[in-house]
């Protein structure tokens, strides 16, 4: 059974769901939960409240609930939940919604605050398990449909019938293909080429010759950020460092329409960094670095580095 379905069923029963690094969902104790097939179920979802607040760890009752309905031992149940939430935070950090079936969707606004929109009810039924099992389910159980955020997290099936998950997966694949292809073309076109003008502080692409039509977006003139100037709880992920000013300008102009937070920086007018600053916990940095490397370089070895 998908982990998101288990979270929804747990929430319906306990009227409280605390998710580490995300926040808390709650229902007033006086609100009764109707049957999922009841025509008033959609009205009931309007009473779901979300509060973005620090949650140190998942409740033991939630972990036990996941164990009881997946047959996994406690460390595996905890690991599945951590991976599910980490993937959700990654979606939020890149501007995508994080869907929790049967509860709703979270969106991250420009101020970094999570906004909650109540969702559609989950009509998938739970299997009744009399008691937790200490071994995992037989391989035959893998025939059930899975989404990108089920407890396996090992792959996404090609025929996912959930429209929102399918849309997200399609956009990610298209985006990666465009970035990898564009990076390869730009790299080959600019390899070994230098601007004829002497190096100077990067301000905007007006320093390019008039005949250059590939770099039209202004370049960020912010100096290289040090640890003391980064927002608390944020890390700088550096995609690429190059001494070729022409490549830096064109590469940044290509990436800027895809994500306005990507910066082009220099401290000495000799080397240029293409980077992005994201909020993250120390435990999230490795996962974020791997995901950003796949977005920027495709299947190449990890080249993205972290500067706190």
What is the average pLDDT across 272-290? 88
- The pair of structure tokens assigned to 127 is 């299997």
For the stretch 219-265, pLDDT in tens is 444 444 444 478 888 888 999 999 999 998 998 999 989 888 898 98
What are the helix (H) ranges across the chain? 3-14, 41-44, 60-70, 74-93, 163-190, 245-255, 285-297
Q: What's the predicted TM-score (pTM) here? A: 0.40
Q: Per-residue b/e over 4-24, b at no fewer than 16 CB within 10 Å? A: bbbbbbbbbeebebbbbbbbe
Which residue is listed with tokens 């990076």?
183
Q: Report CA Rg, the chain.
A: 23
Please report the pLDDT score of residue 1 as a whole number. Answer: 64
Banded model confidence at residue 99, pLDDT cuts 50, 70, 90: confident
CA 148-46-57 angle, to 5 degrees, is: 50
Q: Give yes or no for residue 180 having a pLDDT over 50.
A: yes
Residue 221's contacts (CB-CB under 8 Å, 6 or more residues apart) are 201, 202, 203, 204
Which residue is listed with tokens 């980064």?
230
| Mean pLDDT of the chain, nearest integer | 74
What is the average pLDDT across 160-184? 73
Q: Give yes or no for residue 141 having a pLDDT over 50.
A: no
Query: What are the phi and psi torsion angles at 142 (to 5°)?
Result: -70, -5
Residue 117's contacts (CB-CB under 8 Å, 6 or more residues apart) are 104, 105, 106, 107
For the stretch 115-124, pLDDT in tens is 988 876 544 4
| CA dihedral angle for residue 198, residue 200, residue 205, residue 206, rounded to 10 degrees | -70
Asked whether the beta carbons of 107 and 122 are under 8 A apart, the reply is: no
Longest dimension (CA), the chain: 75
- The pair of structure tokens assigned to 194 is 């230098």
Please report the pLDDT score of residue 249 as a whole number. Answer: 92
């Amino acid at each position: 059974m998908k982990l998101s379905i288990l979270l929804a069923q747990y929430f319906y029963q306990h009227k409280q769901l605390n998710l580490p690094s995300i926040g808390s969902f709650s229902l007033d104790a006086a609100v009764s939960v109707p049957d999922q097939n009841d025509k008033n179920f959609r009205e009931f979802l309007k009473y779901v409240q979300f509060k973005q607040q620090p949650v140190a760890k998942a409740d033991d009752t939630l972990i036990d609930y996941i164990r009881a309905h997946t047959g996994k031992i406690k460390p595996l149940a905890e690991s599945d939940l951590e991976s599910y939430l980490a993937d959700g935070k990654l979606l939020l950090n890149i501007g995508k919604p994080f869907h929790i079936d049967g509860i709703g969707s979270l969106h991250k606004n420009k101020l970094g605050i999570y906004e909650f929109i109540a969702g559609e009810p989950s009509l998938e039924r739970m299997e009744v398990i009399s008691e937790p099992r200490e071994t995992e389910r037989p391989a035959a159980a893998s025939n059930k449909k899975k989404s990108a955020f089920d407890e396996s997290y090992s792959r996404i099936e090609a025929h996912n019938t959930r429209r929102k998950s399918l849309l997200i997966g399609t956009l990610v694949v298209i985006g990666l293909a465009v970035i990898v292809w564009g990076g390869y073309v730009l790299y080959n076109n600019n390899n070994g080429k230098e601007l004829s003008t002497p190096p100077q502080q990067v301000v905007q692409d007006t320093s390019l010759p008039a005949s250059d039509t590939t770099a039209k977006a202004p370049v960020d003139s912010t100096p290289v950020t040090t640890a003391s100037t980064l927002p608390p709880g944020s890390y700088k992920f550096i995609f690429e460092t190059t001494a070729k000013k022409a490549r830096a300008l064109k590469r940044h102009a290509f990436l800027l329409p895809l994500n306005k937070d990507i910066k082009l920086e220099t401290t000495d007018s000799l080397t240029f960094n293409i980077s992005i600053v994201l909020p993250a916990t120390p435990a999230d940095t490795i996962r974020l670095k791997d995901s950003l490397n796949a977005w920027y370089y495709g299947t190449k070895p990890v080249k993205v580095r972290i500067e706190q």
